[in-house]
Amino acid sequence: MNVFGLRAVCSIAFLVVVVPAGAQVIPIKTIPIAQGDQFQIYPSNNLGLGGVSIALADSLGDPFANPATTARLRGSWIFSAPTVYSVSRRAGGGRSLPLAMLARQATWYGGLALVLQQVDPSRPPDQGGLAVPWVPVAPPADSPTPIPGPDMRAHGNEYAFGMIGRTLPGNLSIGASALWTGLHALDGVDLLYSGSIRVKQTGHAIDVRMGAWKEWPGERGARSLEAIVLHNRFAATHNVLYADQVWDPALQRTVAQLRTDQNFDHTNTWGAQLKYQIPLATPGWRIGWILTVNRATHPKLPNYEITNVAVIPWDPGRSYAYDLGVGLSKVLGRETFGVDALYEPIRSYTWADAIAPTATLGGDTIATGGKTVENRFRFSNAVFRIGVGRDIDLQGSPKMVGLQFGLMMRSISYRLEQTNHVELTQRALRTGWLEWTPTWGLTLRFADLELRYRGRVTKGAGRPGTQFEVGVRAVALASGTILAAPSGPLSLVDVNTSTHQISLSLPLH
């Protein structure tokens, strides 16, 4: 997948917000890296419908996105939704085991959830049908420095969720929730440091939300308004181990020398969302609108070293992201239909700070802390979701079977304007790609429990492989820093991400 031709001195930054949240936190991606579904940890009824959500309520997933919508539940329930995802070409995978309970007593309601997760190490995808072992080049047997191999163990993450809310007079509900995540593995991060031996990840994320839900009954159905405000803090540390080949004068040969680089990935996000639904004159039909606003600051971005992309330190940055969407749904009898269309304008600004006085090609000097490179991204993304479902009664039995099919498409398109204050150059890049996700679902409803299976496959993205073209131009600066700049395209191997979730819902009598 030759996505862009990068011929400038410095590459673009790789931004991606990864949090276990719904559409309230808008993802930002500048490179089509395939990401595993490790944050699909909550049960969802609409997952098989393409994730349609604007005008169609999700009886399982909505309480975890907006705690106030738990007021729609009748009674108390306990949930479990084991989820497995895998990346094709044996490039990675993971497993999650959540256990959740939502309880209601009079006007009060609340919920708890615990999730244990294992994430397999990411591997370069197999190419040409041949398995390429991922093993670094070993030093001579008599090397004075023993070189460890890659860490092929699965690493675990933990999630803890709590929520409380109350129904007030006038069909108004308010609620608050908090999610804490202990991170030791983010899917795909291993492959973003080209030439490394292993990457040790540690970090955490905190997501706090306040939500409100208001309903106005009417002859044709109820109008509803949802509001959410949230704050999300993500902080991770990547300790990256390299083996540099250096000349040893005593041994009169090249030996391997271990080096550990520490990278930080910090993002703080404030967000708000409004969702409004009204019934239409035709029975069963509803229309909805959604507006989402995110403001994210990036105190520290990692120095990723993707193949064919030389990255200099990316320090602060900020982003503004918006969702403007409309949805339509029909729930009549045993049939369900929903469709969403969203436009996502996003603006991101990142820069690099000089870590020492740096001379420019024009003879000036950039002081320590001054901007050496500035990047301005302008995104025009679009999301389309559609899904249909049908419930089938089994004659002579209280059981019911439900079928779901859906499709989600995400178009990512942006323009980058980059200014290099060291080489006194400017460049513009316009690029984009399309990711699409078929979904499906099967539901079995019994008298006292509901069993659901949901699946999906995401296509259109890739991962760095083991074979690539090298096009590098060395640039020596007066400060003594040598930057390896790309002169060829970034090559990714196409992969698919498959996700399977089985959820069990039991009422608590």
pLDDT digits (tens, 9 = 90+) for 365-409: 999 888 888 888 999 999 999 999 999 988 777 788 999 999 999
Among candidate residues 110, 45, 115, 51, the one with its CA nearest the CA of residue 83 = 115
Which tokens belong to 84? 């497995």
Q: Alpha-carbon torsion 189, 191, 194, 199, what sign? A: positive
pLDDT tens for each residue of 48-90: 999 999 999 998 899 999 999 999 988 899 999 999 999 998 8
Between vectors from CA 135 to CA 131 and to CA 136, what angle results, nearest 5°? 140
What pLDDT does residue 489 have?
52
Give me the residues of the chain with pLDDT under 50, please.
1-19, 21, 129-139, 307-313, 467-488
First CA to last CA across the chain, in angstroms?
Answer: 54
Where are the domains positioned within the chain?
A: 2-508
Contacts of residue 63, Cβ cutoff 8 Å, sequence gap at least 6: 69, 70, 73, 102, 111, 163
Helix (H) or strand (E) holding 63: helix 62-65
Arithmetic mean of pLDDT over the chain:
83
Which tokens belong to 479? 């400060």
What pLDDT does residue 20 have?
52
Helix (H) or strand (E) holding 64: helix 62-65
**Phi, psi (5° rounding) for residue 11?**
-90, 175
d(CA 494, CA 33): 9
> Can you list the positions of beta strands (E) in 400-488?
400-420, 425-445, 450-464, 472-476, 482-486
What pLDDT does residue 468 have?
36
DSSP assignment of 275-322:
EEEEE-SSTTEEEEEEEEEEEEEEEE----B-TT--------EEEEEE
d(CA 237, CA 261): 10
d(CA 302, CA 350): 12
1.10.20, 3.40.1350, 3.40.50, 2.40.160: which CATH number matches 2-508?
2.40.160
What pLDDT does residue 128 have?
56
Burial (0-12, 13-18, 19+ Cβ within 10 Å), 137: exposed
Residue whose pair of structure tokens reads 């990036």 in the numeric block: 298
What 8-state DSSP symbol labels residue 470? -
What pLDDT does residue 471 have?
29
